[in-house]
Amino acid sequence: MAVDTPPPTAPSRRPAPPLDRFIERLWTSERHSAAPHAREWNLPTGCADLVVPLTQGALRRFAGRDDARGHWLAGGVLQGAQQHATLRDTGGALAVVGAHFRPGGLTAFVDAPADEFTGRSMALDTLWPGFTAALQDRLVRGGTLATPAARLDALEAALRAHLRPEADLERWLGWAVRRLAAGARVGDVQRDIGLSPARFIDRYRATVGLAPKVHAALLRFNGLLHAADPGTPWAEAASDAGYADQAHLAREFRRFAGFTPGDYRRGATHFPSHVACR
């Protein structure tokens, strides 16, 4: 794996109930200087994410490799489930906090189906005006901006205040996601739940943001990224992850990442879903 810088500080933890039903992980990260690469690909996970800057007022994202200027998102980023890699700025010092939602977890905080956010990166100030400013002010006034645990506590409290009172998940969702991640066929999961094919797809897409077949493919793709040892031949990694062959894996890389498995290893960072854009 090509690693050209020490790993950034990235403490993380699960939130306490009731947030733990909807958020898989709270995390914080800090760069004290620019990364060796000015931009970085974030590969899609199939889940929504929240990223809040603590030392500036906005975050920059790029439409693609050829977008040199990018666009600034005031207050940070609320990102719905993605099917393609997104490109972020890593060109300067920055401290952030974030939340990685569970499948379907975003709907506990927004009054809209998850598929209305699919493929989108929204400025957080548009959705929750003042959220980031209040979080920054709380940490600065308390003198705890430099304390990772305090950052996570502050974000957790702020998210708890935005949890919708009626928030809930489809009772079958967690079970369905686990089955799909284990390689079960979509049709088998749908029949076991007792919904018609069309109804299952509609309800899954409205809750998770993606159709079950696409989400299952992303679960397998991310399972491979997190499990594959850097020295493992791709043919072996593909077989272990349940791909038909190495060519099948290469197609999935093109589909979700936009580049080849070889490009992935050449640009690899300390985080499996982050790849240097060179």
**Model confidence at 118, in pLDDT bands (50, 70, 90)?**
very high
Q: Are 60 and 69 in contact (CB under 8 A)?
A: no
Distance CA 113, CA 42 (A): 23
Contact of 60 with 73, CB cutoff 8 Å = yes
**pLDDT for position 7:** 43
Confidence tier at 3 by pLDDT (50, 70, 90): very low
Domains of the chain: 12-162 (2.60.120), 173-277 (1.10.10.60)
Average pLDDT value over all residues in the chain: 94
Can you spell out the DSSP letters for 105-137? GGGGTSSS-GGGSTT-EEEHHHHSTTHHHHHHH
On whether the CB atoms of residues 66 and 258 are closer than 8 A, the answer is no
CA distances from 82 to 75, 78, 99, 187, 193 (A): 20, 12, 15, 23, 25
- Token representation of residue 159: 């998210």
8, 15, 55: which is closest to 155 by C-alpha? 15
Residue 32: the pLDDT is 87
Please state the pTM of the whole predicted model. 0.93
| Residues 6 or more apart whose Cβ sits within 8 Å of residue 230 | 1, 265, 268
- So what's the pLDDT on residue 138? 94
The amino acid present at 90, given as its one-letter code, is: T
Class of residue 4 by CB neighbours under 10 A (exposed 0-12, middle 13-18, buried 19+): exposed
